[in-house]
Amino acid sequence: MNMKYIINRKKGVIPFTIEKIAAAIEKALMATKICDAPQENAGELAKTLAAEVEAMLATTAENLPTVEDVQDCAEKVLIRHNLPEAAKAYILYRKKHQLMRESSATLN
C-alpha cells in the first residue's frame, strides 16, 4: 500500500514520506552498529523495515495516522525483527526530541 498522508503534531495533514521513516530507522541501526557494512546494509534494512511500517499502518489505521502512530509502528517493527538495541535507540531519540519540543514551547 502507498500511504499518502499523515497528521503532524500541529494537527495538520502532511504528505507521508517513507524515506523519512527509513532514515530514522537507519540512524537507530547505525547508532547501535547493527549492520556490518554501515551505510549499505543499514540503508537496505531500513528501507525494508520502513516498508513494513507503512504496511502495518495501512492495516491498523482507521483514520489518517499521526506522527506518533508512525513512530510507534517503527518501534514495533524493530522489536518484531529482534532489534531491541535499535528500538531502544529509536525510543531514546524520540524522547530526546519530545523534551526539546517541550523545552522550546516553555521558552516561547
- In this prediction, residue 103 carries a pLDDT of 83
Q: Which amino acid is at 82?
A: N
**Using CA atoms in the order 91, 97, 100, 106, what is the torsion angle rounded to 10 degrees?**
-90
Q: For residues 26 and 52, what is the distance between their CA atoms, to the nearest angstrom? A: 14
- In this prediction, residue 3 carries a pLDDT of 78
> Cβ distance 28 to 93 under 8 Å?
yes
> Cβ distance 35 to 51 under 8 Å?
no
Which tens digits make up the pLDDT trace of 33-88? 766 545 568 889 999 999 999 999 988 767 899 999 999 999 999 999 999 999 99
What pTM did the predictor assign? 0.85
- In this prediction, residue 34 carries a pLDDT of 67
* Cell output for 13: 495533514
- In this prediction, residue 106 carries a pLDDT of 78
Query: 26 phi and psi, to 5 degrees?
Result: -60, -40
DSSP one-letter string for 45-103: HHHHHHHHHHHHHHHH-SSPPBHHHHHHHHHHHHHHTT-HHHHHHHHHHHHHHHHHHHH
Q: Quick check: 99 pLDDT over 70? A: yes
- In this prediction, residue 55 carries a pLDDT of 93
Q: Quick check: 94 pLDDT over 90? A: no
- In this prediction, residue 35 carries a pLDDT of 61
